[in-house]
């Protein structure tokens, strides 16, 4: 007779999904509140969202007893990658969400559904990074993506609808590719859990090579889309342009760190193969270089930042190619990039107007910032700090992230890759300094400096101040950040 399967709550280990449960419950509560209080101020939903995000972030530090322990029969794993990924996701959400508290009433933020979808999206990304089971990763990916498509469309502009549809179509292709990759990997190994797949592949070395490389091709397409790797990046500038600056900045950080962690888990299955290493080498070099060259000719600051974020993604993706010695550099780089990019997009957000004052198509052409030092000197100086940081100029924050990545590359014998990074860092300086030239050396087009701060409420000023301070004084906390990340990676 077959033994009766036992069900144990202890083995389920519910504590491991507390951060995600808080977000899901919070999203449902906001829907209920929104249906009951039809005319509630949007500040109520922002406050509720921040409370649930804060509770979720706080709960991470009570997961010490379940760190590295598999839960839900292998479907959830809170390891060091998951812990750091969750920390970046929730920290970014806590910093970006107050940007919705603008002085002007933008259409998308008047709906309570916006804030509920935002929490659902964060929960989806949280599940992505907290699992080594391919089905759970796929479910998290789709939960987050469907919410994000809707959030983009809620901006209620023609370009927003266009961006949402384009993102949806490309996202559907990405999801289908991921599903096919999972299917082929299952055929090759008989498992859906990455650790079990790894063991089978080691035992059956040399077998099922066709299935393995076919699954790799699908995973490269799927994750290449999520990470904006060239040539799967084409959606990025258009979607960023059609989204509001708040969502564009958020998309440049959170979906990518979730994608990096999933890529790190999956691609390590294939990296022992020398041909795969050459493929990834080419992907990294092209992704770092091509967007940098295209960014040189952009006339809109938001599109320039979109292309620059693709290049930054190439820098970070190189850590997966370099190997375990670069994993600390991956998380350090993205922590530092988070604050610099938060600041840059916040500056675009505070100067956002519903009317196209400077250009018929773009909201943020370079000409918009001409002579900003004369009309709004504080804004010009702060924006200059963020541009210098993103350019990787010392002593600003992203410089230390690039230094760590390049040091790891050199230490592991990737000398040519380090040279490519150095050359592209020099190229990037040009288009970041281009905005500084407009702000400091050209005459103002508009004399009214209040246009640049019309959305700058107190919460936005606080967020910009935090981003500016952390981008400027990274030299004082960089060593501490490195120690924290190193401890989280190797001792949790």
pLDDT at residue 110 in the model: 66
Confidence of residue 302 (pLDDT cuts 50, 70, 90): confident
What pLDDT shows up at residue 236?
A: 84
Query: Which residue, 357, 365, 254, 359, is CA-closest to 303?
Result: 365
- Does position 205 have pLDDT exceeding 80, yes or no? no
Predicted pLDDT at 107: 57
At 1 the pLDDT is: 45
- Reply yes or no on whether the pLDDT at 286 is more than 90: yes
Residue 355: the pLDDT is 59
Distance CA 363, CA 241 (A): 8
**Does the pLDDT at position 9 exceed 60?**
no
More confidently predicted of 374 and 70: 374
Give the per-residue pLDDT at 282: 92
Q: What percent of the chain lies above the pLDDT cut of 90? A: 20
User: Distance between CA 97 and CA 47 in Å, rounded?
Assistant: 10
SS3 (DSSP) at 76: strand
Average pLDDT of the chain to the nearest whole number: 83
Residue 268 has pLDDT above 60, yes or no: yes
* pLDDT(87) > 70: yes
Tens of pLDDT, residue by residue over 20-35, are 899 999 999 988 888 8
pLDDT level of residue 439 (50, 70, 90 thresholds): confident
Residue 336 pLDDT exceeds 60: yes
Confidence at residue 64, expressed as pLDDT on a 0 to 100 scale? 60
Angle formed by the axes of helices 209-227 and 254-267, nearest 10° = 170
In whole angstroms, give the CA distance from residue 17 to residue 359: 47
| Cβ-contact 455, 102 below 8 angstroms | yes
Q: Which of 7-11, 200-204, 410-414 has the lowest mean pLDDT?
A: 7-11
Query: For 31-40, 184-193, 358-367, 397-406, which range has the lowest pLDDT when averaged over its residues?
Result: 358-367
Averaged pLDDT, 297-303: 86
Tokens representing 137 are 């990763």
Q: 201-223 as b/e, with b when 16 or more CB fall inside 10 Å?
A: beeeeeebeebbebbbebbbbbb
Residue 19 has a pLDDT of: 87
Q: What is the pLDDT of residue 111?
A: 73
Q: What is the pTM of this model?
A: 0.90
Nearest to 115 by CA among 42, 203, 199: 42
Residue 112 has pLDDT above 80, yes or no: no
pLDDT, residue 70, reads: 66
Which pLDDT belongs to residue 353?
A: 67
pLDDT, tens digit, 9 for 90 and up, residues 347-382: 888 777 665 666 566 777 888 888 888 888 888 888
CB atoms within 10 A of CB 146: 17
Higher pLDDT, 172 or 362: 172
- pLDDT band at residue 289 using 50, 70 and 90 as cut-offs: very high
pLDDT digits (tens, 9 = 90+) for 51-64: 999 999 888 887 66
């Amino acid at each position: 007779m077959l033994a009766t399967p036992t069900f144990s709550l202890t083995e389920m280990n519910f504590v491991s999904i507390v951060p995600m449960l808080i977000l899901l419950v919070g999203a449902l509560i906001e829907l209920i509140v929104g249906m009951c209080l039809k005319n509630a101020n949007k500040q109520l939903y922002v406050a509720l969202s921040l409370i649930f995000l804060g509770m979720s972030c706080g709960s991470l530090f009570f997961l010490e007893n379940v760190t590295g322990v598999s839960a839900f029969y292998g479907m959830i794993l809170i390891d060091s990658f998951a812990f750091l990924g969750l920390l970046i996701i929730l920290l970014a959400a806590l910093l970006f969400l107050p940007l919705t508290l603008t002085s002007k009433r933008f259409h998308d933020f008047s709906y309570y559904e916006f804030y509920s979808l935002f929490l659902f999206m964060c929960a989806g990304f949280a599940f992505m990074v907290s699992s080594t089971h391919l089905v759970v990763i796929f479910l998290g990916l789709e939960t987050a993506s469907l919410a994000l498509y809707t959030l983009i469309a809620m901006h209620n502009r023609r370009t927003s609808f266009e961006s949402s549809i384009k993102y949806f179509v490309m996202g559907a292709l990405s999801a289908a590719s991921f599903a096919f990759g999972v299917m082929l990997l299952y055929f090759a190994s008989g498992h859906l859990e990455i650790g079990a797949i790894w063991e089978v592949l080691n035992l059956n070395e040399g077998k099922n090579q066709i299935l393995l490389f076919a699954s790799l091709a699908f995973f490269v397409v799927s994750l290449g889309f999520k990470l904006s790797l060239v040539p799967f990046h084409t959606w990025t500038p258009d979607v960023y342009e059609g989204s509001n600056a708040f969502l564009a900045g958020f998309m440049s950080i959170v979906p990518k760190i979730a994608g990096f962690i999933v890529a790190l888990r999956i691609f390590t299955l294939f990296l022992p193969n020398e041909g795969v290493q050459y493929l990834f080498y080419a992907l990294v070099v092209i992704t770092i270089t091509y967007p940098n060259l295209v960014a040189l000719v952009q006339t809109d600051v938001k599109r320039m930042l979109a292309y620059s974020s693709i290049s930054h993604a190439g820098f970070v993706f190189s850590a997966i190619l370099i190997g375990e010695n670069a994993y600390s550099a991956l998380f350090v780089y993205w922590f530092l990039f988070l604050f610099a990019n938060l600041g840059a997009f916040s500056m675009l957000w505070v100067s956002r107007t519903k009317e196209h004052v400077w250009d018929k198509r773009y909201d943020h052409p370079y000409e918009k910032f001409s002579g900003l030092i004369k009309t709004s000197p504080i804004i010009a100086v702060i924006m200059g700090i963020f541009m210098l940081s993103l350019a990787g100029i010392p002593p600003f924050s992203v410089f230390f992230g690039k230094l760590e990545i390049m040091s790891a590359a050199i230490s592991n014998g990737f000398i040519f890759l380090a040279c490519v990074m150095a050359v592209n860092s020099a190229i990037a300086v040009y288009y970041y300094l281009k905005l500084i030239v407009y702000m400091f050396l050209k005459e103002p087009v508009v004399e009214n400096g209040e246009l640049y701060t019309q959305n700058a409420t107190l919460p936005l000023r606080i967020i910009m101040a935090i981003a500016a301070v952390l981008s400027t004084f990274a030299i004082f906390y960089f060593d501490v950040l490195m120690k924290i990340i190193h401890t989280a990676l190797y001792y949790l």
